[in-house]
Amino acid sequence: MKKVCGFAPASIGNFCVGFDVLGLALESIGDKVEVSLNGTDTNRITQIVNGENLPMSIDKNCCSVVIRKMQEALGNFRGLDIRIHKGFESGSGLGSSSASSAAAAFTYNEFLGKSFSDNELVAFAAEGERLASGTAHADNVAPALLGGLVLVRDNNPIDIIRLPIPKGLFVVILFPKIVVNTKDSRSVMQQNISLQTATNQWANMGALVASLYQNDLSLLSRAMVDEVAEPARALLIPKFEEIKAAAKQNDAISFGISGSGPSVFALTDNITQAKKIQEAMKQVFYNTSIDTMSLIESLANNKGARLVDTF
């Protein structure tokens, strides 16, 4: 019986100054979802690999919820068996629920023969985020589906702008292996901010976008200052200021929290410096009880969701 398997990558939500509106796709880690007809009128999750704590219930798993929304839109209720392969840990701040939701939306759309547009897929995948975090934000699912760096101008209806990435950039990720749930991380955010803070953030957001089009890394560095999310969320990340200092002391172009944390990221424009930044950030946690995972990726080829041959 026909099976389709798709992959969607991890992502960096917010991208420092773009709370809930900017997202960057990664490349090397992500989730796979496989779908196949099961001969009934009911969907089933038959396997979750590397996600022992994730729900098998179709009403509580973001993948099956996304697929159900797509079926309802089409009036197509042929039952599917759904298999999920988690490629990285939940609660990492790298868009775990988004990678699964995006992979589910992409894979089922391919199974159907591409019935939905990119914007429609982003909207469906955002329903998985609603289930996971209480909010249907698209700053992770959009890059996970489309690749690259995206700006979500509006969620209703979905309005997405693809942004250029300066050539030669590398991102260094460090994940201190503690869990920060998105709902908890959102709860520490201030619901109201001062006009001065808002003005500073708008200025930095505009400067960031300008730096991308101008290929101006100096301006990019000056623009990547988050006055909205970082002050509150940094308190949830062990040794945050030490990690930030380690990255900056090794000439990182910029540094920020990935999504809701605890993962953090730094940007640089050469692989040698990337390795130095990676080692310096890891060094902060040597002789502590906290394990870390880290990776370096070039931003030249972060493609987004795609078909894969094997589950």
Q: What is the pLDDT of residues 148-166, one digit of tens each?
A: 999 999 988 999 999 999 9
Residue type at 122?
V
Give 112's pLDDT tier (boundaries 50, 70, 90). very high
Q: Kindly state whether residues 246 and 131 are assigned to the same domain.
A: no
Q: Cα(first)–Cα(last) distance of the chain, in Å?
A: 15
* Cα–Cα distance for residue pair 104/65, rounded to 1 Å: 9
Q: Kindly state whether residues 260 and 115 are assigned to the same domain.
A: no
User: What pLDDT was estimated at residue 52?
Assistant: 84
Q: Kindly state whether residues 131 and 79 are assigned to the same domain.
A: yes
Active site residue 129: yes
Least confident piece of the model among 29-43, 61-75, 173-187, 254-268: 173-187
pLDDT higher than 60, residue 1 = no
User: What pLDDT was estimated at residue 184?
Assistant: 66
Mean pLDDT (the chain) is: 94
Q: Kindly state whether residues 206 and 187 are assigned to the same domain.
A: yes
User: What pLDDT was estimated at residue 276?
Assistant: 98
107, 182, 268, 292: the catalytic one is 182
Six-digit token pair at 141?
Answer: 């699912």
> How does 279-298 read in b/e, with b if 16+ C-beta sit within 10 Å?
ebbbebbeeeeeebbbbbbe
Q: Kindly state whether residues 141 and 179 are assigned to the same domain.
A: no
Whether 19 contacts 228, CB under 8 Å:
yes
Give 90's pLDDT tier (boundaries 50, 70, 90). confident
User: What pLDDT was estimated at residue 183?
Assistant: 65
Q: Phi/psi of residue 172, each to 5°?
A: -110, 125
Query: What DSSP designation does 235 have?
Result: G
Active site residue 40: no
Alpha helices in the chain (DSSP H): 62-74, 96-112, 118-133, 141-146, 182-187, 195-214, 217-223, 230-233, 240-249, 271-283
User: What pLDDT was estimated at residue 216?
Assistant: 97
User: What pLDDT was estimated at residue 2?
Assistant: 86
CATH number of the domain encompassing residue 175: 3.30.70.890
127, 129, 230, 297: the catalytic one is 129
Over residues 117-158, the pLDDT tens digits come to: 999 999 999 999 999 888 888 999 999 999 999 999 998 899
SS3 of residue 255 by DSSP: strand
pLDDT higher than 80, residue 182 = no
Q: Kindly state whether residues 147 and 183 are assigned to the same domain.
A: no
